[in-house]
Structure 1
């Protein structure tokens, strides 16, 4: 073995992504090998960096080759608070240790994970329309139906074969606005699905189909933006449309199984779950057609165990991936080795400096990501470039929206 890969330093870094922040973990060994991972504090997860800092001392002096031992040690000392941001911190640590191990052996990470079963991974253009409604960050911005039509055509023109979109309301002038009460936009704690939401959803999907054409697969993400009756009502509204899958989130596996029983479309879910134990009830209840795994949250090594359990239940998996290029490459190595992979998420609309802060960008040809054979994950952040874009002072969380004042 050319090195013992003994951990000597654990460091977190962050930079602005214009409308949120990127977060990275850098672990360095005594002999100068650096392992990187990307994690997130934007998607309902403030505090992951603080957890990593609290656990860092337990890594010092340990060999990255024993990443499973290290993770179990960290899981044991955090067991009463397992999951959530604690689970995500463990996932970030595991992923950085895997990068070290692969670099020490001078192999790409997919070799450590069992070896690739495919050289390229089909991807879908995620947040299609959604990101461009953030007109101050993405160009061209989308404010109305004309922009919706334009981006739907662009998907095929750029060689992609699938897109995923979200829920939008249209006003009388066909201006659009996203509808996501599950994320407090707007603040509607009941998450009730009214007639306008259903009819506008149908209108939006029909526009996307008209412009994208018959050969583009359309995926719909409903997120947490409903409860059981609301999800069923939306599925009923769009049951005759041609969709690749409908993605939605609920933490009750029996509720999801009921929703799936009422759907004519395949159901994808589970992207916010952490650990095999949380996934198993959804498999046992036959609640999903596709289980979405967030490998930055879970750790790629642990995600392989989840994918194997899904395979045993005749369920395919997909990669949850709406972060930076390092997360994309971590997901790509996972997707390349998992036999029961369905498709991989990727964001195509990017901020201006994404290409500056990573050593390599993902290579996408004809709607497929081509897996690199560079050691480790195949890309890493450039620290000097990160420093040029200081993180936003909001801990990565979205700005507070207006909440109706309650009378006391």
Structure 2
């Protein structure tokens, strides 16, 4: 079997899909993207695929090593995300060629179903509470939401601190569901240490990304300041990025299968996390291919805890999670869980007709630029 070609598809709402073809008629799909920089990642995919022309796609680890380490300059979100999507597609091909789900190639399933959470949204505590009740009514047992509606200064005011606590309080009073509080890298170390202890009485399942990745060395200070479990990792792109973070005492590692080296590397990150008594909760506010790849890891990983998914997330305008699948039932969420996919490869069938139609329109999604009241740049 040899790689005979590939195609890239820029599709709404903000995704990039990759199809890798072989001379035996088996094709694999991946989702290589940096949100807001999809075109840049597409250029990197084209460069990496030059080295795979005519290669045997089943040598997944060999190709991973060459793509990740064969260049003098390594790492970073663009290269790692391009590599991630290709890695997903190669695993998809290998699983399809052998007629088994990818998780069977990773040692077999360790669970029959995987827990998932969903996003809730609202500009006020009351709106968040209402959406939380709706999602609980739909069967979800865990939700996640932004801790603050807008940007925060390095040292939030008393009113801003109380506003964060009010949002968490409203959701906790509305539902018994588990709560994930996304801090989105908007907090300074000092702010995180001040705010998180105020959230403890609401027993959140985790607080996500309290600090920007460049301040990861200070995560230990945050962990020691609160009993709220700390989660991080969506902007860490390799096991080496996680190496210095895992010993800080975080509770959850959140690598993204479309950013952190694909199935191959996320699997290794999960094993490294297990050695530090850290659970795995893969980041995935992306499309169906990324979710399918994430779940393949989840079903084969002992320390997996819960999976993010993007159905109904605010970013999904123009298309949603299930719109590019021939059989959306593969992602049927029941009682807060999704069953192990039984299909070969990534376990999904991409609706290529819908993908091609959407790619004709494309997208130019960019993340918003936020400003503080004084006009200076704020963290999104």
Q: TM-score, normalised by structure 1?
A: 0.84
Q: Check 1:149–1:312 CA distance in 2 against 1; reply closer, same or farther (3 A cut).
A: closer
Kindly indicate whether the alpha-carbon contact (under 8 Å) linking 1:74 and 1:90 is maintained by their aligned counterparts in 2.
yes
Deviation at 1:380? 4.0
Kindly indicate whether the alpha-carbon contact (under 8 Å) linking 1:164 and 1:218 is maintained by their aligned counterparts in 2.
yes
Per-residue CA distance 1:331-364 (angstroms, 9 max, x = gap): 1111111001111112231656433322232121
Deviation at 1:146? 4.5
Deviation at 1:191? 4.1
Q: Among residues 189, 193, 196, which one is paired with 1:235 in the alignment?
A: 196
Alignment of 1:33-182 (within 5 A): 33-42=26-35, 47-126=40-119, 128-129=120-121, 142=122, 144-168=124-148, 178-180=149-151
**Corresponding residue for 2:6?**
10
How far apart, in 2, do the equivalents of 1:316 and 1:370 lie? 20
How far apart, in 2, do the equivalents of 1:234 and 1:202 lie? 8
How far apart, in 1, do the equivalents of 2:185 and 2:223 lie? 15
How far apart, in 2, do the equivalents of 1:327 and 1:196 lie? 39
SS in structure 1 at match of 2:59: helix
Alignment of 1:8-407 (within 5 A): 8-17=4-13, 21-42=14-35, 47-126=40-119, 128-129=120-121, 142=122, 144-168=124-148, 178-180=149-151, 191-212=154-175, 215-248=176-209, 249-251=211-213, 252-283=215-246, 285-297=247-259, 298-349=261-312, 351=316, 353-354=319-320, 355-361=322-328, 362-389=331-358, 390-394=360-364, 396-398=365-367, 400=369
Per-residue CA distance 1:60-110 (angstroms, 9 max, x = gap): 111111111111111233341322211111111111100000001111111
Deviation at 1:299? 0.8
How far apart, in 1, do the equivalents of 2:21 and 2:151 lie? 40
Q: Check 1:375–1:398 CA distance in 2 against 1; reply closer, same or farther (3 A cut).
A: same
Kindly indicate whether the alpha-carbon contact (under 8 Å) linking 1:268 and 1:288 is maintained by their aligned counterparts in 2.
yes
SS in structure 1 at match of 2:61: helix
Query: Which is worse superposed, 381-390 or 295-304?
Result: 381-390
Kindly indicate whether the alpha-carbon contact (under 8 Å) linking 2:151 and 2:371 is maintained by their aligned counterparts in 1.
no
Kindly indicate whether the alpha-carbon contact (under 8 Å) linking 1:258 and 1:287 is maintained by their aligned counterparts in 2.
no
SS in structure 1 at match of 2:341: coil
Kindly indicate whether the alpha-carbon contact (under 8 Å) linking 1:11 and 1:27 is maintained by their aligned counterparts in 2.
yes
Q: Check 1:180–1:23 CA distance in 2 against 1; reply closer, same or farther (3 A cut).
A: farther
Query: Which is worse superposed, 350-359 or 88-97?
Result: 350-359
Provide structure 2 residue ranges, at least 5 long, that are not aligned to the other structure. Answer: none
How far apart, in 1, do the equivalents of 2:220 and 2:124 lie? 36
How far apart, in 2, do the equivalents of 1:359 and 1:397 lie? 28
Deviation at 1:233? 1.3
Q: Check 1:44–1:53 CA distance in 2 against 1; reply closer, same or farther (3 A cut).
A: closer
Deviation at 1:241? 2.2
SS in structure 2 at match of 1:341: coil
Deviation at 1:230? 1.1
Q: Check 1:393–1:353 CA distance in 2 against 1; reply closer, same or farther (3 A cut).
A: closer
